Structure 1
Amino acid sequence: MSNLTEKEKRKSIAIAVLTVSDTRDKDTDKSGGTIIRMAEEAGHHIADYRICSDEREQITQTVDHWTGNLAVEAIIITGGSGIGYRDITIETVTPYFTKKIDGFGELFRFLSYTEDVGSKALLSRAAAGSIDEQVLFALPGSSKAVELAMEKLILPELHHIVHELTKHRK
C-alpha cells in the first residue's frame, strides 16, 4: 500500500523512451509506440522519444542526454536486452545505475514465464535501476513483453518509484 497523497498519485511523470533497434524507424516501432500509448493513457507525458541502433556509443549518447535532465523522471528503453551478439543494452546501461532494482527483472521474468513465453523467459535480461533521482527500465524489444511490463510492473509503481527517488527534496 502506497503512502502517496492523491495529488502525488495524479502527477504526470515525464518519460523518455528509447528504442534500440537496427531495423525500426518511428513508423515501424511497435514497442516504442506501445510504451508511449500506455504511458499517455495512464496520464504521463513523453519528454523525448528516440530510436538508435544497437551501438554502445549511440545508446550512451542518448542516456547521457537524459541523465541529470530535470525534464526527465523516467527512462524506458526497449530492445537489445536479449542474448544475441548485438544485444548490448544491458551492458551499456547498468553501469549508470546508482542502485539496481533487482525485483523488476525477477518479477518480469516470472510474469513472462507464467503469462507469456514460458521457459523462454529465462533468456530475458530485462533490468531496472535508479540513476540518482531518475529510474531506468530496460525492456525486451517484443511489443507483447513491453505491454506486460508496462501494465503489470511499471505503470502501477512508477509514481511510487519517482516519489522514493525524489522525496528527500521535499
Structure 2
Amino acid sequence: MSESFDLEKNIRIAVLTVSDTRTPETDTGGALMKTLAEAAGIEVAGYRIVKDDQAEIKRAVAEWLEEKDLDAIVSTGGTGIAKRDVSIEAIEPLFEKEIPGFGELFRFLSFREDIGTRALLSRASAGVASDKAIFVLPGSRGAVKLAMERLVLPELAHITFELNKHRQARS
C-alpha cells in the first residue's frame, strides 16, 4: 500500500521537556518552544514533561515515533554534562541517522551569540527516525530560542520534505 505525502500539509511536532523540577506552570523552555512553533504555523500535537531518567525519556520519544501524523520531536533539557543529564544517552540510540551539523551549528551560534565558551559543554543533537526529525536541545530559554529561531524552524519544512519524499515517489 503506498502512502502519499502532502507537501502542503501542516507540520506537526511534539515537545518534550526533560526535568526533575519543572511542571506545566514552570516549564518556561517548553512553553517558549510551543509558542515559537505555533507562531511559525506549526501545530504542537503533543507535549510532555518527564524526569531526567533514561527509560522515561526513551519511552516518551519511542511512543511519538509510532505516531504516523507526527513530523518532528523537539526535546529540551538534559543535554549537559551533569550526572543527571541523560537525554542524549536516551534519545541518540533511537536515531536511524544522525544530523551532526545541527549540534555543530548550535554550538557555534551559542558561542558567538549567547554563552561564549560555555557552549563547549552543550551536547545538543539531532537525528531522524521513523521519517521524523528529532532535535535534542538544552533546557535554557536562551538555548531554546536560539535553536528554534536559527536552526529548527527555518529548516523544518525542508527536513520534513526530505524525510517523506520517498512516499511522493511511490504514489
TM-score in terms of structure 1 length: 0.93
The residue type paired with residue 143 of structure 1 is: R
Q: Deviations over 1:85-113 (max 9, x none)?
A: 00000011000111000000000000000
Q: Counterpart of 1:99?
A: 97
Q: Counterpart of 2:118?
A: 120
Q: 2:7 matched to 1:31?
A: no
TM-score in terms of structure 2 length: 0.93
Q: Counterpart of 1:4?
A: none
The residue type paired with residue 168 of structure 1 is: H
Contact persistence 1:47–1:71 (CA under 8 A): no
Q: Deviations over 1:44-84 (max 9, x none)?
A: 10111000000111111111110131121100000000000
Contact persistence 1:109–1:124 (CA under 8 A): yes
Q: 2:141 matched to 1:149?
A: no
Q: Secondary structure of the equivalent of 1:113?
A: helix
Which sections of structure 1, spanning at least 5 residues, go unmatched? 1-6
1:120 Cα deviation after fit? 0.2
Q: Counterpart of 2:54?
A: 56
Q: Counterpart of 2:41?
A: 43
Identity of aligned residues (%): 53
Which sections of structure 2, spanning at least 5 residues, go unmatched? 1-5
Please identify runs of 4+ aligned residues in structure 1 that moved more than 6 A: none
1:11 Cα deviation after fit? 3.6
Q: Secondary structure of the equivalent of 2:49?
A: strand
The residue type paired with residue 126 of structure 1 is: A
Contact persistence 1:31–1:142 (CA under 8 A): yes
Q: Secondary structure of the equivalent of 1:106?
A: helix
Q: Counterpart of 1:67?
A: 65
Give the count of matched residue pairs: 163
Structure 2 Cα separation of the partners of residues 61 and 126 of structure 1: 19
Q: Counterpart of 2:166?
A: 168
